[in-house]
Amino acid sequence: MGVALAWHGATAETLHVATPATSMVLEATEGRPLKFVYYGDRLADADVAMLEASGAKPVDAYPVYGLTSHRETAMSVTHPDGNMTLDLAVAGVKESEDPDGARVLTVSMADKYYPFGVDINYRTYPDADVIETWAEAVNNGKGTVILREFASGFLPIRRDDVYLTSFYGTWANEGRVSERPLQHGMTVIKNKDGARNSHTAHAEVMFSLDGRPQEHSGRTIGAALCYSGNYRLRIDTGDSDVHEFYAGINEDNSAYRLARGERFVTPPLALTYSDEGKGGVSRNFHRWGRDHRLAHGKDLRKILLNSWEGVYFDINEEGMAQMMHDIADMGGELFVMDDGWFGVKYPRNNDSTSLGDWTVDTTKLPSGIAGLCATAKKNGIRFGIWIEPEMTNTLSELYEAHPEYVIKPSHRDAVQGRGGTQLVLDMANPKVQDLVFHVVDTLMTNYPEIDYIKWDSNAPIMNHGSQYLSADNQSHLVIDFHRGLAKTLDRIRAKYPDVTIQACASGGGRANWGVMPWFDEFWVSDNTDAVQRVYMQWGTSHFFPAIAMASHISASPNHQTHRIISLKYRTDVAMSGRLGMEIQPKDMTAEEKDQTRRAIADYKKIRPVVQQGDLYRLLSPYDGKGAASLMYVSPDKNEAVYYWWRLNNDINPQLPRVPMAGLDPDATYTVHELNRIDNEPLPFEGKSFTGRYLMANGLEMPETHKVDYHKLNDYSSRVLQLIKK
């Protein structure tokens, strides 16, 4: 459902931007600023008409700087004559429909004096409870207008007992959850990495309107800025009746000069509302994401082995063949050769050379990529490859030939990144965009069998300076980098719509809906430790569905934390996302391989529920109860998968019994344990329970596994399949 009441071109008009379960109401009066009136549950038209009578106080829907300068604003500009004010008024409203059924409502505002306009857009889909809003600034005058602030959107959130859920972290510890009441003052959540934007804070937040955030209840707003670059989310709690939420590109050092006739389009801010708590917001985002934003969101993902933690840079033909054989033998469907396969003058043997020299190293791989594709085919699996095309090293043929392609200020030595030599290419430069396009185009043209690309990005933009942009436009560097990246990825996707592409950025640096139209998934973290993954995947799942979260079984002791964790537990955690492996199978025992073979077969049974189902987070690892638990339920509620992981190894820990959620209360479900290692079945194996019972009581998980004495270990875990009878 889109807009219920249309604009008639005359005086005041109420605009009802509606999704199946939510409403946003705006008031557009010709000659006055656009007003925001309501966001929340879906309203009947009769209630829309009575909003103001009920006491709703319309506020500016997109506050601008200059005539109300005492407050935070969404946009500020400097006109060619130096005037720093905006005075915007509604000039028109129009609706359009995209080919996929999405409807866009555009409210055009024009400055009352200057030839400058701002369009505010709202996109809705007939089947998703998400509203995407963004702004477009247009310079219709002759001189250059400087954009100093240019938020995508603004949302006033009524003052009360409002909690903010946001995400923080760092490399190898991404997606941590923070929950706190909103108090006076300003909260700023931001990124300034330049190239990637989600290792540290995330550009997504939730607002719980009824006090402390709950998973299954409470009115909750979710907001995600869909952008690959620097962002800034502000929540200003001042003297007004509302918490003022602004989200957009981070304008720090990025003032944008808008030339005559130029239009500046901000990235979309996606909003949802649910009265089913944080869980409702997550499910709304997951559904919208899979159906409308994520590349191939409706297709199931292949089970893969990635070579990185198995062999690191030690790539050779025999090793790759052995890994392909082993993953095929365990039931996997895809092999991905990671870093280390390229470089002729400078072979890539470590991280200090060769980025940019995307030519296969035939001393390591005499039969080249064609040979690897043939070996994959022989094993009945597909082949994928790692690249990091936005980057170079000072030790590379690319850098030697084109030092002008890197981001670097004039008269300064560039600060170098990973390996002491890594530099970021200037994606603002069309020649660099071409170069990056051709990295993919050449691989795909020469080896059309390539099924999967792991696209990495392992350095921030540390040096401010474009060798391509004019002196006047140096402040465009970071924004134009991301425009260039977007253009290049658009070109790649136009030519190669089918290839699977993973967004990796030193782990979880590109977990943002902004890049998802081009990417099928992201690497959640370079940390593959299963226990820490429970926390990281928990946080990441607030806005991203399991299908997008690459989650791999790796070695024990873990390579990052050195923690020893059983294969059972490592697998049970990986099975809650897009399952893969990141291990040297040669080092696994025959018994471990058997166990993995069975687990992979089990995962294939539940893959549609995990990857397309609705997520219910049940017991948070942050609650300190000694365990964490979540489940996925198929949209028709015929099937579900329940996960339970212990998080400490205390004896007699008095673990809570975890009620399930999302099931059909009147249906009866038969329970079957997956990836089972116990000598004896669980007491409820093969037994049936009503959804009502399971949601009120759950099932009792034993503290440990019933296995032979020498196989006992800490960190027990369970995966249960529930099938409607």
How far is residue 714 from each of residues 397, 482, 566, 671, 705, measured CA to CA in Å?
A: 50, 45, 8, 24, 9
Task: Based on the shown chain and the rule CB under 6 A, indicate whether residue 323 belongs to the binding site for ligand GLA.
Answer: no
Task: Based on the shown chain and the rule CB under 6 A, indicate whether residue 111 belongs to the binding site for ligand GLA.
Answer: no
CB-based contact 423:459 (threshold 8 Å): yes
Give whichever of 139 and 422 is closer to ligand GLA, judged by the CB atom: 422
Task: Based on the shown chain and the rule CB under 6 A, indicate whether residue 14 belongs to the binding site for ligand GLA.
Answer: no
User: How many other CB atoms are found less than 10 A from the CB of residue 603?
Assistant: 22
Give whichever of 459 and 546 is closer to ligand GLA, judged by the CB atom: 459
Binding mask 343-382 for ligand GLA (x = CB under 6 A): --------x-------------------------------
Query: Cβ 536 to ligand GLA, closest distance in Å?
Result: 14
CB-based contact 408:340 (threshold 8 Å): no
The helix (H) or strand (E) run that includes residue 308 is helix 308-311
Query: What residues have CB less than 8 Å from 232, skipping those under 6 apart?
Result: 188, 189, 190, 191, 246, 247, 248, 249, 250, 251, 252
Chain positions 482 to 541 lying near ligand GLA, rule: CB under 6 A, are 504, 506-507, 523, 526
Query: Cβ 342 to ligand GLA, closest distance in Å?
Result: 12
Annotated catalytic residue 456: yes
List 129, 526, 602, 614, catalytic entry:
526
Which tokens belong to 709? 């004495």
Binding mask 235-264 for ligand GLA (x = CB under 6 A): ------------------------------
Cα distance between residue 540 and residue 670, in whole Å: 30
Give whichever of 375 and 458 is closer to ligand GLA, judged by the CB atom: 458
CB-based contact 154:177 (threshold 8 Å): no
Give whichever of 488 and 525 is closer to ligand GLA, judged by the CB atom: 525
Buried residues in 676-699 as b, exposed as e (16+ CB within 10 A): bbbeeebebeeeebbbebbbeebb
Binding mask 386-425 for ligand GLA (x = CB under 6 A): x---------------------------------------
Task: Based on the shown chain and the rule CB under 6 A, indicate whether residue 675 belongs to the binding site for ligand GLA.
Answer: no
Select from 308, 346, 468, 643 the one that contacts ligand GLA (CB under 6 A).
Answer: 308
Cα distance between residue 312 and residue 310, in whole Å: 6
Task: Based on the shown chain and the rule CB under 6 A, indicate whether residue 114 belongs to the binding site for ligand GLA.
Answer: no
Task: Give the start-end residues of each E strand in 433-584.
Answer: 450-455, 500-503, 521-523, 549-554, 578-582
Task: Based on the shown chain and the rule CB under 6 A, indicate whether residue 272 belongs to the binding site for ligand GLA.
Answer: no
Residue located via tokens 């390579």: 559
Give whichever of 124 and 502 is closer to ligand GLA, judged by the CB atom: 502
Query: Cβ 417 to ligand GLA, closest distance in Å?
Result: 12
Shortest-Cβ-distance residue relative to ligand GLA: 339
CA neighbor of 390 nearest in space, from 453, 287, 481, 319: 481
- How many Å from the N-terminal Cα to the C-terminal Cα in the chain? 35
Query: How would you write 176-191 as a 3-class SS string?
Result: EEEEEECCCEEEEEEC
Task: Based on the shown chain and the rule CB under 6 A, indicate whether residue 339 belongs to the binding site for ligand GLA.
Answer: yes
Give whichever of 351 and 602 is closer to ligand GLA, judged by the CB atom: 351
Binding mask 431-470 for ligand GLA (x = CB under 6 A): -------------------------x-x------------
Annotated catalytic residue 650: no
Chain positions 581 to 620 lying near ligand GLA, rule: CB under 6 A, are none
Burial class (CB in 10 A: 0-12, 13-18, 19+), 657: exposed
CB-based contact 564:557 (threshold 8 Å): yes
CB-based contact 522:504 (threshold 8 Å): yes
Give whichever of 426 and 526 is closer to ligand GLA, judged by the CB atom: 526
Q: Which residues are catalytic?
A: 456, 526
Positions in the binding site for ligand GLA (CB under 6 A): 308, 338-339, 351, 386, 456, 458, 504, 506-507, 523, 526
